[in-house]
Structure formats: structure tokens, C-alpha cells
Amino acid sequence: MLRELVSPNSSALRLLLFVFLFAPESSTSAWIWGSMQPSARDMQVHGKTAASLNGIAASSDQIALPELQNGHGSQTPFDHGGSVGHDDFLDQMLSGLRSPWAELGATKSPWDAPDSEGPTAAQRIFGVGKEAEDGLPYAPFDESALLANRLRQYQISGGSSPVGKAMMLPLSHHGQQQMLATSGDSGFLPLPLTLGSCGSVDSPNSTVGDGLYNGFSGALQHTESANQHTFPHPQQGAPMLGQNFGAAPLAPGLTQAPAAAVSASASAGGGGTGPPRQKVRARRGQATDPHSIAERLRRERIAERMKALQELVPNANKTDKASMLDEIIDYVKFLQLQVKVLSMSRLGGAAAVAPLVADMSSEGQSSAGRAVCAAGGSSDSLTVTEHQVAKLMEEDMGSAMQYLQGKGLCLMPISLASAISSATSSFHRPHSSSSATLGHLHPLPNAGSCDPPSSPAASALSAHSAMANGAADAAKDTIVVSKG
């Protein structure tokens, strides 16, 4: 396991793994912050996670120390001295706890649990809220996406260490409250950033370990200085959180990293879920394996589809695949709910439209057989129809409706027609010519049956002349013809 960490190839791998690690982990950690309100349940829960975090920190500590002993750990003597001074602090921190966090981090099972508990608390804390109709845990996902985004940016730019140090400074300046308030991402950033910075340094072997340890102890030192006043507090929650602040992001990363590195390197093909597999693409640069080629192709197609989906769904600024999927799922649920609600509210509102059409349909069923095909789509038939309808309207609305129904037309308010055409025009854009083109009439096939999907051209004919003859609601009526 040490070899995995030390080897230079895996450093980049681990950096990448941090990205997807923090996606689930930061949600839990954000949830930890969110559940700072003292409640029995919260205490118990984040006590457990704090415990598991410490378990990881213990393992990371063991890993990092041998690296120091190799003699490369002299980058900052402060850290050495700090390490000695911090060891007992570390031990104190790491004393209680075992590895529930290992399972917690590894299996991503708390993905569902924190989702249910986290959102309200997280939203309360962070003040991030989407609309009530969604009512979902956006705060943790935002942070994870934010983190992933920033991490990626920093990786691209080479991850300079001054950046890392600059990021770590705010950590010390914030009080504990602020550390909570500014959310986990600013805290999570320093560690992977120092990791990244050390990873980009030339000497490969132990700088990664150094980076780990430096970041770890550095963050610890900052957190400890910031939390001095809270340390002697008897209550478990706050100081544990403050101390775990440094341990938390690093620790799950470390356990996850060797596990995932092992799994990634072991399973060459490794089908299954998309998100973790995509991160190991850099490692498998060799394209000799047909399985890996097919795998990469599949992944690319999935990425394409995800991008297309991202454009459809609003609020598509999430970079993380899991959060994007979640967004999509919520949007689909929301749309289905809207259909349901609209169908319930439709009942009264449809009264204005339906009776006209209803009369037609009840009386027009018999007449549907005859006069199926009017003349072809020439403008002559249009005006003829218009005049005919106008004449019929003078006598009796019902007969006019009957005539229209026989022709396969229907009557609807202009506002509705224009609104509908505008609403559906964007959808039918590829089919072209779907927007209302005045003065163009197409005969319709029989009503009620499944129309063959011929060219779905929608046309609208506004029978202003007919209306001018004094039919009711003259200004608002129009004859709409559509086909397909």
C-alpha cells in the first residue's frame, strides 16, 4: 500500500481521485458542518463520522511518517518541529476512533443518508437555497462541484505551492464559526492543493508523502491555533470538528486512494459505473488493450450524452457527473409533478376551450366520414373555407363548428394559438416550418385516429374577415389548422 502511494504515477492518479472523492465526501463533511447545531442525532452522527475521520487520519499519519524518516522531509523544518509537537496532538485526536469512516468513505453508502438529513441543516447553515419546489440538497453538491472545479483548475495551472499556502492562510484567520460558515470547500482546498503542488515537484518519490504530511500537519497547526479556545471544551462536537477539519479531507482521500488505485490498476476493463472509471483515464494511456479502447469510447459517448442533457436541464453549472445526474433526476421528477398539477388545475380552465371543441366532436363524429379530403393545400380552398365558415357562423355557431370539424379544423382563441405555436416552435425547429405561417391551409386526416407522422407543419389562418361579420369574440378568434 505504501508503494502505491509513493510511486510517481499514482500521485497524479491520486490527485484525480481526490476529485471524485471530495464529491461524496464533501457532501458528508458539509453535512457535518451543517449539523453543528447541538442535537442528539447530530452529535451521534457526526461523532461517528468524526471517529471515522480520525481512523483515517491515523493511517495517514502512519504512512506519512516513514516518508519523513527517509530524509526528504526537510522542506520545512517547521513541519518537522511541528510534527514532534503535533504528534501528541495527533494522537489525542486520533485516539478514539476506528474505521467506520473507511467504510463510509469507501462505499459511498452515506450518499443516501446524508442526503436526507443534510439538506435542511446545510441549507440553514450556508444560506444556500434553491426554490422550494425543488427542495433538494444543493449546498453540498455545489461545494463538491466547486471543489472539483477549482481542483481541476489548479491542476491545470500546475498547482504552485504559493497558491496552496495562500489558501491555507485563510484557514487560520477564520474563527471556528467562520470556518464552518465558509463551508468545507475552502478548508478542503489547501490539502489537495499542497498535494498537487508537491506532486508537481521533480523529485517524485516522497514529495507526495511530504505534501501529504505537510498539508496535514500544516492544516492541523492552523486549526489548532484557531481552536485553542475551544479545545478544552468538554463537548465533543465542536473541537472534534475543528480538529478534524484538517484530517477530514485528507483522511478519506488517503484510504480511498490506495483502495481505488488498487482497484483501478487491477481491473483493466472495469466496466460498471461511469464516474470513478473516468478518473483513471490518464493512467491508462496505453491503448493496446481493446477492452480499454472500448471502455474509453463508451465513456466518451456517455460524456457526450451528459453534456446534451446538461444543456436541457436548467441550473446546469455542475461539473460533477454525479451531481449532474442528480440534477437531471430532480428535473424529470419536477416536470412529471408539473404535468400532474396542471392536469388537476385544468378542469376549470379548459371550460372555455373545450365546449366548442366538444360540441364539434360529438356532432362531428358522424360527419367525419364524409368530406374527408378537402382540396389540396391551395390558397383558394382556404378562402373558400373561410367564407363558408363565416356564412355558417352568421346562422348558427354549431353548424359552423360542424363544418370545421368535417374539414378537420378547430377553432381556438388567437392568443392560445400564438402561444402554443411559440411554445412548441422551439421543439419543432428541426422539423422546420412549424411556426405559424398565415394563409396556408392543409387539410387534416380523420380526427381521432393516430395520424401518420408526416411533415409536422403547423399553419394558422386567422379568419379576420369571418370575424368581421360580427361573430362573438371577433378579435380573439382564429382558425388553427395543424397537421401531423
Partner 1 sequence: MVALRFLRALSLVRCSGPGARSPSYRARGIRRAAYACMAASAGPRRAWSRALLRKIRRRPGRGLRRPRAVIRRRRPVGGGDPLEVALRRLVPGGGCMEYCRLLEEAADYVKCLAMQVRLMQTIVDSASHVNSID
Q: Which of residues 277-316 bind partner 1 (CB under 8 A)?
A: 298, 301-302, 305-306, 308-309, 312-313
Helix (H) or strand (E) holding 410: strand 410-413
CB of 249 within 8 A of CB of 267? no
227 vs 462, which CB is nearer to partner 1? 462
219 vs 458, which CB is nearer to partner 1? 458
47 touches partner 1 by CB under 8 A: no
Which one of residues 98, 235, 427, 470 is an interface residue with partner 1 (CB under 8 A)? Answer: 427
166 vs 350, which CB is nearer to partner 1? 350
Compute the radius of gyration of the chain from its Cα atoms. 33
Q: Which stretch binds partner 1 (CB under 8 A): 253-261, 354-362, 369-377, 393-401?
A: 354-362
Strands 458-461 and 477-482: antiparallel
Q: Which stretch binds partner 1 (CB under 8 A): 24-32, 57-65, 273-281, 380-388?
A: 273-281
262 touches partner 1 by CB under 8 A: no
How many residues line the site for partner 1 (CB under 8 A)?
72
181 vs 297, which CB is nearer to partner 1? 297
> Measured between alpha carbons, how far is residue 254 from residues 148, 261, 461 in Å?
17, 10, 69
CB of 206 within 8 A of CB of 70? yes
Nearest CA among 49, 95, 65, 56 for reference residue 258: 56
| Residue 27 beta carbon to partner 1: minimum distance, rounded to whole angstroms | 13
179 touches partner 1 by CB under 8 A: no
174 vs 407, which CB is nearer to partner 1? 407
333 touches partner 1 by CB under 8 A: yes
Which one of residues 2, 262, 342, 438 is an interface residue with partner 1 (CB under 8 A)? Answer: 342
Which one of residues 282, 329, 373, 468 is an interface residue with partner 1 (CB under 8 A)? Answer: 329
* Sites for partner 1 among residues 359-418 (CB under 8 A): 360-362, 410, 412-413, 415-416
40 touches partner 1 by CB under 8 A: no
| Residue 62 beta carbon to partner 1: minimum distance, rounded to whole angstroms | 31
Which one of residues 281, 456, 464, 469 is an interface residue with partner 1 (CB under 8 A)? Answer: 456
4 vs 363, which CB is nearer to partner 1? 363
Strands 458-461 and 410-413: unpaired
* Sites for partner 1 among residues 62-91 (CB under 8 A): none
116 touches partner 1 by CB under 8 A: no
> Measured between alpha carbons, how far is residue 368 from residues 356, 372, 378, 448, 450 in Å?
16, 7, 22, 10, 14
23 touches partner 1 by CB under 8 A: no
259 touches partner 1 by CB under 8 A: no
> Measured between alpha carbons, how far is residue 72 from residues 146, 209, 250, 317, 381 in Å?
33, 9, 20, 41, 91
| Residue 448 beta carbon to partner 1: minimum distance, rounded to whole angstroms | 7
Query: From CA 412, how far away is CA 349, in angstroms rounded?
Result: 14
| Residue 113 beta carbon to partner 1: minimum distance, rounded to whole angstroms | 12
CB of 463 within 8 A of CB of 456? no
| Residue 351 beta carbon to partner 1: minimum distance, rounded to whole angstroms | 7
Helix (H) or strand (E) holding 459: strand 458-461
Query: From CA 413, how far away is CA 419, in angstroms rounded?
Result: 10
- 3-class secondary structure, 458: strand
Query: From CA 241, how far away is CA 247, in angstroms rounded?
Result: 9
| Residue 362 beta carbon to partner 1: minimum distance, rounded to whole angstroms | 6
CB of 405 within 8 A of CB of 399? no
Q: What is the DSSP letter of 267?
A: -
291 vs 305, which CB is nearer to partner 1? 305
228 vs 362, which CB is nearer to partner 1? 362
Instruction: Outline where 368-468 has alpha helix (H).
Output: 379-395, 397-407, 414-425, 464-468
| Residue 273 beta carbon to partner 1: minimum distance, rounded to whole angstroms | 5
Which one of residues 71, 95, 112, 369 is an interface residue with partner 1 (CB under 8 A)? Answer: 112
Residue 415 phi, psi (nearest 5): -60, -45
